Amino acid sequence: MSMSVDPGNITAMKHGLDISPAGEWGRPDEIAELSTLAEDHGWDGVFCEDYLAFPGGLPTYDVWVTLGLVAQATTRLTIGTMVTPLPARHPATLAVQVASVAAVSGGRLVLGVGSGDPEGDPAIGAGSRGERLDAGLEVVRKACPDVPVWVGGALTRPAPRARALRWDGACLYRVPPPAWEDLTPDDVADLRADAGRRPGEAPYVVAVGGRERRGDLAAERRYVASLADAGADWWHEYVPPRLDRAEARRRIVAGPVRA
């Protein structure tokens, strides 16, 4: 599919900062302070990874305490998880956490969910992660009907893609980590087309990204422009906890890549 860039779409696309409450600068109060920097330097949202124990043995902090502080420290940012492995969480407990942060944030919360990785999060256990994810989502939706749910997972697998289209948005990747392959503009356009045929009136959200910025900034700008033209609503950039504090702050203050 060959596309020309629509400047209107580029203007409309939002830019999210993906960050982790883990590592040397990952304490909830520090993430809240970094989120104020993000708000002041052009980011539209801050989204936190949700781990009980961050891979690699880094110190790990509670994502809901973190998001509560972020909500109080900021005024306009969209905030959320990217993503919560719902099969490893008690749905009723999660519902209370979601409702609490949604209230504190004034309705700025998004719940990103996925089926999780048993190797990365032993609490997930065995059995059908997809079935538990679906059942847990129903519990959360009944308690928190106004909180948008974005579904992650591998776009190349039928079940995550279909599940994402049943909810409020998609935050899908192309191949499972630790490998990484960017969604293409055609992927975005196909999701947008299929979402247009879903029941309901709420706008559907397509969020793309979740990796570090590539070194070739010109290529990155072209890629982000192509996503906007294809109908993506968000581009997310990851600032990983392995960075030292000064470098993390530098990347946040630099602001997002805008086409």
Domain that holds residue 132: 16-253
202 confidence band (pLDDT: 50, 70, 90): confident
Residue 224 pLDDT greater than 80, yes or no: yes
Say which CATH number the domain at 34 has: 3.20.20.30
Burial level of 10, CB count in 10 A (0-12/13-18/19+)? middle
Sequence letter at residue 128: S
State the pLDDT at residue 199: 63
Q: What's the structural domain count of the chain? A: 1
If you ran DSSP here, which 8-state letter would residue 119 be given?
T
The reply to whether 7 falls in a domain is: no
Is 156 inside a domain boundary?
yes
User: Within a 10 A sphere around the Cβ of 31, how many other Cβ atoms?
Assistant: 25
Q: Is residue 139 part of a domain?
A: yes
Structure confidence at residue 194 (pLDDT): 94
Domain presence at residue 5: no
Q: Is residue 68 part of a domain?
A: yes
Rounded to the nearest angstrom, the gap between the alpha carbon of residue 52 and the centroid of all alpha carbons in its chain is 17
pTM of the predicted model as reported, rounded to 2 decimal places: 0.92
241, 161, 238: which is closest to 206 by C-alpha? 161
* Domain assignment present for 39: yes
Flag whether 10 is in a domain: no
Residue 29 predicted with pLDDT over 60: yes
- Domain presence at residue 3: no
| Confidence band for 128, pLDDT divided at 50, 70 and 90 | confident
